[in-house]
Amino acid sequence: MATVTVDCLRKVFATPTGPQTVIDDISFEVADQSFLSLVGPSGCGKTTLLNIISGIEAATSGSVEMKENGQAAKLAYVFQEPRLLPWRSVFDNLMYVQPVQDDAARERVTTALERVGLAHAAKKWPGQLSGGQQQRIGIARAFSVEPDVLLMDEPFSHLDAITARGLREHLQELWAHTRKTVIFVTHDVSEAAELSDRILMLAPGGRIHEDIQVTLPRPRRASDPEVAVLEASVLRRFEDLEAATKNQSAQLHSQTA
Amino acid sequence: MTTTTLERRAKHTRAASNNAPRKRGANKLQRVGLVLVGYLLLLGIWSYFSTYYFTPYILPPPWAVAAEMWHLLIDGTAFVQFGASIGKIAAGFAIGALIGAPIGLLMGRSRYWKNFFQQPMLVLGNVPGLTYAVFALILFGIGAVGPVVAVTLVALPYVALNVAQGVEEVDPHLIHMSTVYGRSRKDVIRSVFLPSVMPYLFSALRYGFAMAWKVEALTEVFGGRSGIGFMIRAEYQEFSVTGVLAWTGFFVLFILLVERVFLAQLENRIFAWRGGR
Amino acid sequence: MTTTEKRVQPADSGTTTAKVRHWLVRPIGASTTAAVIFLVIWQLADALGDRLPGPIAVTAAAILEVQEGEFIDNFAISMQRFGIGIGLSIVIGTVLGLAIGSSRLLNDVLGDLNLVGLAIPAVIWALLCTMWFGFGNTAPIVTIVLSAVPFIAVNVAAGARSIPPSLQHMSGSFAVPFNRRLRHVMLPAVSGYLFAGIRFAVMSGWNGLLLSEWFGASDGVGHRARYWYDANRMPGFLAWIAFFILFMVLTDRLLLERISRKAFRWRDGDADAKSAEPAKNLAG
Ligand SMILES: Nc1ncnc2c1ncn2[C@@H]1O[C@H](COP(=O)(O)OP(=O)(O)O)[C@@H](O)[C@H]1O
Ligand SMILES: [Mg+2]
């Protein structure tokens, strides 16, 4: 039972032009074995939120709790870029993150590489692989530690459309197989519609704009009509959000003027 | 100079992807041939000038120098004196690295210490070699301590500045990745820190070593009891151009050996991961 | 890193101690601290031992040298030699470097020789030149050229290699004449490297000049330093050493670094720019 509870989270960066609130009092809970997407325009604080959840950055206030049967949950993170050690082979990159480096770990690593279809590249250096292959290694690394909670930050945004589609389908399969609790960040609405059980829309300024439950049957494909309908409706809400922010700033301007 | 080696490797990989071992062999043979042409050219010009323009007393012909070198090799002097110089360089370099690496670490991690050490290190690196040589002589007299201290002072800024730059250039993203996956400090140092700093350490070794040689030889010219610098000085005092050139020849041979064989192989082994691209 | 920065509290900078503390952690404060510590240790070494004169004695000797006019006279002579030597080196080194960098054939023929040139200590050139040319201006100038040219050649060659082949092809396909190609493609690409090379060359050449004047000249700064050294008058000798270092540091900081940064301006946004010019700007 791995649940993630985010409670009254705030993050304020000190910038040369004064403090900037990036996350403004966000609370939500991610159910066990569910796939949650965080959607929002770029720069709205998605990466920062994931970094706080993963412990890379500290929150200004508020708390994040991750529990697996009462104990601290095991975590894995697929970053926006592959973040592999260029001087270690693919296999050693995956071994590097194993808590105990025994035969069982070696087996897990081999399985994870097979699952992303790169078992043959185990002995290569990351520099010898294409960008898409490196990203797959990053995903395999996350799965190889058998995490309770998996964080993913726009893992497909730098890839070409065809590779990205293949990897999305692949991710669905993997997820159906292992049923991790996933928090998936993206700015691509159709991607979110295809993959998630629930979509949280973030607004610039770091607030939750909408909380959308998705109940479409799985497995889904990007070309499914229901997915397209959902995507269209989410996009419409995005437009509302844009109009709202514009109004707001217009109001602000007229107030200051 | 780093660029040269990178280019050379790129050439190799390109040749390898041609997948024609015979052609690659021919290419290599051609390259070696051209390098030989370069040396022959030099020797040719040298012979021409020594036979037609100068007396052998001023510029001896190459074969006279070769004979002198052969002579020095046979009676073992070359080995003894080179051994003396290398020993002093190794000792000085080791001490310099031992002091320089922690300073570099400090400079890479803290802005204050960077500001503190930056200027002194640059000055230490810009000081003309003559200064080190004479200082060593004044402070430590004639003997082995002077050259060792001079080499230490030369190596120190190289190692410190390079380590500092290496530490600064460690990718924080990789450190974050390691934290998320719960790696220990030791793991991070071994798998992230050291490999990132390695190219910089290597560059320090390569250039520092070349510099150390020069200053060591210079220090021995001024106040050594052994080593090639001392021998060059002795030949100079007897006004033997042949002798000076013979020792220069050994010097060149040694540098080529270190650069082309030892360092190149070490580099290939440590940085194999970079060749993949 | 952050700890040192946070120590500065702008809130209490009203009091003098806080102001001093503020100043001490800034770059200039840190450098000054280092310099003061160095001078104190040096003066202590003078007080404790008897080999090394301290900064006060050396400064006095330096002032005397300047007042007697020795400083100006000898520097004038040496700078003349230095200017001619470095000028010749730049010309020879650039031609050699362009040749090595743009032709694979010449790279194979001359590359090793250049490496050898880099490796030979200036003192060997100084001694050989003294034996060949005797006392006078020739020996120092030739020594400068021999010890500076390889540094320029190797850097210019790296610059020539850095010209993307695509640009060469582009110029080829538009039939751009050679002299325009030289001006707009080759020289801009090479100039940054050339200035980096000149920095090394100046350091190496300066060292060569000092040695050459030490062994084979009856005037110039190297000779003057030797004069005090032979007379066993250490303050005078150290004053000259201080002049050398000061000259070197000032030339490097005030002149060469700026020019070199300017020449590399076009690729400032490039992350590789740093790695192409790593922390090996030390050529003694
Ligand atoms: N370390 C930092 N210091 C100051 N501002 C930051 C820092 N990190 C991120 N920000 C700002 O926070 C905002 C959100 O960034 P991020 O979380 O990366 O956005 P995204 O939603 O695109 O992932 C941006 O406006 C960015 O400029
Ligand atoms: Mg982001």
Domain boundaries, chain C: 58-265
Q: Please answer whether residues A79 and A47 qualify as being in contact, where contact means their C-beta atoms are separated by less than 8 angstroms.
A: no
C109 contact B CB<8A: yes
Is residue A173 included in any domain, yes or no?
Answer: no
* Pair (A10, A116) in one structural domain: no
Q: 3-class DSSP state for residue A209? A: strand
Is residue A166 included in any domain, yes or no?
Answer: no
* Pair (B130, B32) in one structural domain: no
pLDDT of residue C143: 94
The residues that bridge with A29 in the sheet, in sequence order, are: A5
Which residue ranges of chain A lie beneath pLDDT 70? Answer: 1, 249-257
Q: Which atom of ligand 1 is nearest to the CA of A185?
A: 23
Q: Does the pLDDT at position C8 exceed 60?
A: no
Measured between alpha carbons, how far is residue B70 from residues A136, B78, B223, C120 in Å?
Answer: 61, 9, 27, 20
Segments forming the whole domain that contains residue A137: 75-146
Smallest CA separation from ligand 1 atom 6, residue? A13
**Mean pLDDT, to the nearest integer, of C132-152?**
90
Is residue B5 included in any domain, yes or no?
Answer: no
**Per residue in A39-51, pLDDT tens?**
988 888 999 999 9
* Pair (B33, B152) in one structural domain: no
* Pair (B37, B86) in one structural domain: no
Segments forming the whole domain that contains residue B44: 16-53
Is residue A163 included in any domain, yes or no?
Answer: no
Is residue B261 included in any domain, yes or no?
Answer: yes
Question: Ligand 1: distance of its center to the CA of A21 in Å?
Answer: 10
Q: Where are the alpha helices (DSSP H) in chain B?
A: 2-18, 21-52, 62-74, 77-109, 111-126, 129-140, 145-168, 172-180, 185-188, 194-223, 228-237, 241-256, 264-270, 272-275
* Pair (A154, A54) in one structural domain: yes
For residue A59, the one-letter residue type is A
* Pair (A154, A241) in one structural domain: yes
What's the half-sphere exposure (Cβ side, CA atoms, 13 Å) at C207? 30
* Pair (A31, A110) in one structural domain: no
pLDDT of residue C268: 45
pTM: predicted TM-score of the whole model, two decimal places: 0.75
C39 contact B CB<8A: no
pLDDT of residue A90: 95
* Pair (A79, A182) in one structural domain: no
- Pick the residue with more confidence: C134 or A109? A109
* Pair (A54, A96) in one structural domain: no
* Pair (A154, A224) in one structural domain: yes
CATH number of the domain within which B201 lies = 1.10.3720.10
Is residue B4 included in any domain, yes or no?
Answer: no
- Substitution target in A89, A96, A143 with the highest count of B β-carbons within 10 Å is A96
Measured between alpha carbons, how far is residue C41 from residues C25, C37, C52 in Å?
Answer: 21, 6, 12
pLDDT of residue A61: 93
Q: To test the ligand 1 pocket, which listed residue (A12, A47, A157) has its Cβ within 8 A of the most ligand atoms?
A: A47
Is residue A170 included in any domain, yes or no?
Answer: no
pLDDT of residue C37: 87
How many domains in chain B?
A: 2
pLDDT of residue A117: 86
Q: Do B276 and A127 touch (CB under 8 A)?
A: yes
Is residue B44 included in any domain, yes or no?
Answer: yes
Does the domain at C58-265 match CATH 1.10.3720.10? Answer given as yes
pLDDT of residue C100: 85
**Per residue in C176-208, pLDDT tens?**
677 777 777 777 778 878 887 888 888 889 889
Residues near B130 by Cβ (< 8 Å), separated by ≥ 6? B218, C207, C210, C211, C214, C222, C225, C244
Nearest of B65, B84, B83 to residue B243 by alpha carbon: B65
Question: Ligand 1: distance of its center to the CA of A23 in Å?
Answer: 10
Is residue B3 included in any domain, yes or no?
Answer: no
Q: Which residues line ligand 1 (CB under 6 A)?
A: A 13, 15, 22, 40, 42-48
- Substitution target in C28, C116, C238 with the highest count of B β-carbons within 10 Å is C116
Q: Does the pLDDT at position C280 exceed 50?
A: no
CATH number of the domain within which A43 lies = 3.40.50.300
Is residue B6 included in any domain, yes or no?
Answer: no
Reported ipTM exceeds the 0.85 cut:
no
* Pair (B186, B149) in one structural domain: yes
Q: Does the pLDDT at position C92 exceed 90?
A: yes
**Per residue in C21-70, pLDDT tens?**
777 777 788 888 888 888 888 888 777 777 778 888 888 888 888 888 88
Q: Do B174 and A127 touch (CB under 8 A)?
A: no
* Pair (B36, B95) in one structural domain: no
Is residue A168 included in any domain, yes or no?
Answer: no
* Pair (A191, A251) in one structural domain: yes
- Pick the residue with more confidence: C266 or B202? B202
The residues that bridge with A199 in the sheet, in sequence order, are: A37, A212
Is residue B86 included in any domain, yes or no?
Answer: yes
Is residue A171 included in any domain, yes or no?
Answer: no
pLDDT of residue C173: 64
Question: Ligand 2: distance of its center to the CA of A41 in Å?
Answer: 10
How many domains in chain A?
A: 2
Task: Identify the DSSP state of A15.
Answer: E
Is residue A53 included in any domain, yes or no?
Answer: yes
Per-residue pLDDT of chain B (277 residues; tens, 9 = 90+): 333 333 333 333 333 444 445 556 677 788 788 888 888 888 888 888 888 877 777 788 888 889 989 998 898 888 888 888 888 888 999 999 999 999 998 988 888 888 888 888 888 887 888 888 888 888 887 878 888 988 998 889 888 988 988 888 888 999 999 999 999 999 999 999 888 888 888 878 877 887 888 888 888 888 778 888 888 888 888 888 888 889 888 888 888 888 778 877 887 777 777 764 3
* Pair (B99, B177) in one structural domain: yes
